[in-house]
Structure 1
Amino acid sequence: MQCQHKDFLSDFKVWDQISHAKKWLLFPHNIGKRLSIDETSLSNGELYTILTNKSGKGRKGTIVAMVAGTKADAVIAVIEKYLLNSEI
């Protein structure tokens, strides 16, 4: 069922972030006044840095950015894409 959903029932193939989704995701509409940053391991020891909107309280609309790895330069580069309004 998972393959069918991705291939036929969703807009996955025309998703605007598909080209870079393995490296980073950015949801600029979720940015708020109070943000938090944390790192987590989702599977197989892969580390991710997650920027969240504290007003979302863990519900839908909470994730602002998710970046593979924990290097500050990579996280800053993704956030700058929003701030400079380029390549989102």
Structure 2
Amino acid sequence: MRPATATKLRANAATIHQLGLRHGLHAFALSSEPGELVATLDADRSYFDITSFEADLSSILGAVVEVVPRGPGVDVNETEPLNDLRGAA
């Protein structure tokens, strides 16, 4: 599978936010890397939640999605917030 495009991620923002809530992820933004999202991970969650979210969303979109959690020591270029909730898978 190829990485999800920014267009595909924007078009599926509602699905991303809904699925993110189930996995303890929120405040999504697009990264400068193809198929990469930046998100905030709830304090009571772990990297297992991130990998589970990535697998679920990649399956839904038919394209690879990776998540970079915000936090100390994480240097990632956020290009725009993913807050357009009109889209759906």
TM more than 0.5: no
Normalising by the residue count of structure 1, what TM-score does the alignment of the two structures yield?
Answer: 0.32
Which has the bigger relative contact order, CA under 8 A and spacing at least 6? 2
State which structure, 1 or 2, has the greater radius of gyration over its C-alpha atoms: 1
Normalising by the residue count of structure 2, what TM-score does the alignment of the two structures yield?
Answer: 0.32
